[in-house]
Amino acid sequence: MGLKILFFGDVVGAIGRNALASVLPGLKDRLAPDLVIANAENLSHGAGVTEKTLLELSAAGVDLFTGGNHSWNNPLGVPLFDDPAWADLLIVPTNYGDAKNGRNWIIRRVGDTDVLIANLMGRLFTHPDTRSPFTSLDLLLTQQRIRDTKVRIVDFHAEATAEKEAFGHFADGRVSAVFGTHTHVATADAKILPGGTAYITDIGRCGAEDSVIGYEKKTAIKAFLDEGSRGYDLPKTGRAELNAVLATIDAETGKTLALDRIREFVAV
């Protein structure tokens, strides 16, 4: 049968949280995943996390949260990354800046199987202090606990499609899955690479459908017309899209047996 990992792309604001909370119980009944993961860097009004927003999705059935460059944007959420109560639930990129706090990877016991969940950032068009995700993966895989863990999931949070594809091929056969996040737009390239690694350039967002990457379209357009000014708003209600992947992984070999894209729509 294999181990089933259900992974949701970036959850953007309240509309994304509410949509995921409404749809996830039914998805769990239908798909019977062993572990549910969601990228949470945009959870709190599109920027960072809070305990309240994390608890909402934990109650809905999300087991673990990954992050990205916006994880620390909400000051209310920053203490959570060093809070023992969240130590086994919340991770951030291992190679993003020297001064950032938080755990970079977790090994979670799922049934009789240990599962590594790791978070890495791309370097292109991101923070100047980001270290190479390629050498960071090499270093990560030298750690004994990780070497002894066959099932390895990587959230690769990056802008550039070329960097993401290159990283996928670099990691092929060394991890079970490389799931791209950050751009909020789902790509149509979900596949299993020759070495048995599941790959998708970007899972896509859980957030407003009629939007610009989950943000209110008029303010997003204005930002471009004003040549770089920011100030995106978030739609509060409307039709939301939920993008995820379901990977079925052989617990003995760590290779992916099947990979399916999931896209659901719901009015919230």
Cβ contacts of 34 within 8 Å, gap of 6 or more: 3, 4, 5, 110, 111
204 torsion bin: left (phi>0), alpha (psi -120 to 50), beta (else)? left
Token pair of 140 as six digits: 């990560």
Contact by Cβ (8 Å): 90, 51: no
Catalytic option among 70, 157, 182, 184: 70
115 vs 35: CA distance, rounded Å: 9
Closest CA to 88 of 70, 121, 114, 60: 114
Looking from the CA of 186 toward its CB, the CA atoms found within 13 Å total 22
- Residue 4: CA count within 13 A, CB half-sphere: 13
CA triplet 189, 155, 264: central angle to 5 degrees?
55
Which burial class, exposed, middle or buried, applies to 264 when counting CB atoms under 10 A from its CB (0-12, 13-18, 19+)? Answer: middle
CA dist 88 and 203 (Å) reads: 23
Q: Which residue has the tokens 């509410």?
A: 18
- Are the CB atoms for 35 and 6 separated by under 8 Å? yes
Question: Annotated catalytic, 127?
Answer: no
Active-site positions?
Answer: 70
